[in-house]
Amino acid sequence: MTEDEAGEYARAYAEAVAAVIGGDAAESETRVSPAPCENSRGEPAGDGRFYVQGNWQMPLPAAEHPGTLERLREMWEAEGYQIKRFQMFNEVEGVIIAENPSDQVEVIVESTMPPTALAVVVMTPCYQPAQPGQPG
């Protein structure tokens, strides 16, 4: 997989979240970029492995945060995702962290402070870059 392909893959996850929120992922994207994976010593891996992290700030009124986070949880549970964390910090602010076991992509959706938006983070697993002459 190429870095560009992985970035588009992360964007597809953000688009799915935006559909639940009723927003536009393209308009709320703040950054989608690759980074080197680490080796067992916590140093950048020397074999070219990388992951992609994408960040979005999706505007949403505070009163809609609890219901939206609950809808995301229900959707992801129905799709077989592992819900790693679901917590409401107070009556309007909360977080959900889920991982898709089929591809190990992790999605974090959390109320911003102040709660005027939902911060969305999508992290892919590590990928080995495509070798020249081989499909991604």
The reported pLDDT for the residue numbered 134 is 55
**Domain spans of the chain?**
3-37+53-123
Does residue 119 surpass a pLDDT of 90?
A: yes
SS3 assignment, position 41 = coil
Does residue 75 surpass a pLDDT of 70?
A: yes
Residue with more model confidence, 23 or 97 = 97
Does residue 39 surpass a pLDDT of 80?
A: yes
- Domain 3-37+53-123: top CATH class: alpha beta
Does residue 132 surpass a pLDDT of 70?
A: no
The reported pLDDT for the residue numbered 135 is 53
Percentage of residues in the chain having pLDDT higher than 70? 96
Its pTM stands at 0.91
The reported pLDDT for the residue numbered 42 is 86
Mean pLDDT of 42-62: 93
Does residue 136 surpass a pLDDT of 60?
A: no
Task: Output DSSP code: residue 49.
Answer: -
pLDDT in tens, 3-31: 999 999 999 999 999 999 998 999 999 99
Using the CB atoms, write b or e for 32-43: b if 16+ within 10 Å. bebeebeeeeee
Q: Which of 35, 60, 49 is nearest to 123 (CA)?
A: 35
